[in-house]
Structures are given as C-alpha cells and as structure tokens.
Amino acid sequence: MSIPVDVSQLAAELERFGASAYVLTVRDDSTPHVAHVTFTLQDGALRCGASRTAARNVADRPTMSVLWPPHEEGGYSMIVDGECAVDGDELVVTPTSGVLHRPAPAPEGSAADCGSDCAPLGSTA
C-alpha cells in the first residue's frame, strides 16, 4: 500500500533511518537498477554519489525511488519517490512523496501475523 505524503518530515525521518539507502532507477530494458548509497539532505533535496549506470538511467528516466530498509523485524521501511537529476558526479533527488511501509498483514492467527500497515512520513504509528 502506498500513501502519498508531504515530505516535510523527511529530515526527521532521516535522523531515524540514517543516511544509507538504496537508489532504484530503471534501465533502458525496463529492468531495475539498485545501488547502495549514502545520502545528504541539502535544501530539501537528497544528494548522493552517482554511478555511471544510475546517471545514465536518470538522464533518460528521471523518476526514481529511494528505499531505506527496516531496522528491526517487522519494522517500517521508508520509501521516497522523487525526480532526479545529475549534478556533476552526484544524483540530486527532489522528493515528491514518501511512505513508511510494512508488509501487508498475514491472515489472522497465522504464524506470520504481524499486524502490519503503512503510515505517512512523520507518523509515530
């Protein structure tokens, strides 16, 4: 489930999730390219080093996503979508939406029942 949100809480969420995340771009053949990077937040934009593949991908398809995995079993992942540009040797991602996400709930009473859900950025759910 994806909930579009105002990303004004991104700085606070980055304090919780950290600077290390995965950049997801799309190759010419429509397959995903995933790179593990370290971000900084400057003037509302996420900045990280750009591999040649990621830079080539965002030059043609600037819409992309960034994924921070959960820190604990059953915890939230953070997913931020944005428009990306290449600035020298860096990717600059302007966030457009974000979501805190956990897996969908398992059938009640099953061993995998974790009562999971999604929550907008900034939520304390």
Domain boundaries, the chain: 7-104
Domain boundaries 7-104, corresponding CATH code: 2.30.110.10
- Of 34, 1, 17, residue with least CA distance to 75: 17
User: What's residue 25's pLDDT?
Assistant: 97
User: What's residue 9's pLDDT?
Assistant: 84
Average pLDDT over the chain, rounded to an integer: 84
User: What's residue 8's pLDDT?
Assistant: 84
Residues (pLDDT < 70) of the chain are 1-6, 105-125
Q: Is 93 exposed, middle or buried (0-12, 13-18, 19+ CB in 10 A)?
A: buried
Q: What are the tokens at 95?
A: 């966030």
Q: Residue 50 gets which letter from DSSP?
A: -
* 76-108 pLDDT per residue, tens: 899 999 999 999 999 999 999 998 887 776 666
CA distance 87 to 110: 49
CA distance 49 to 57: 14
User: What's residue 69's pLDDT?
Assistant: 94
Check: pTM over 0.85? Answer yes or no. Answer: no
User: What's residue 125's pLDDT?
Assistant: 46
How far is CA 82 from its chain centroid? 9
Q: Residue 31 gets which letter from DSSP?
A: -
Residues 64 and 58 sit within 8 Å (Cβ to Cβ): yes
User: What's residue 83's pLDDT?
Assistant: 97
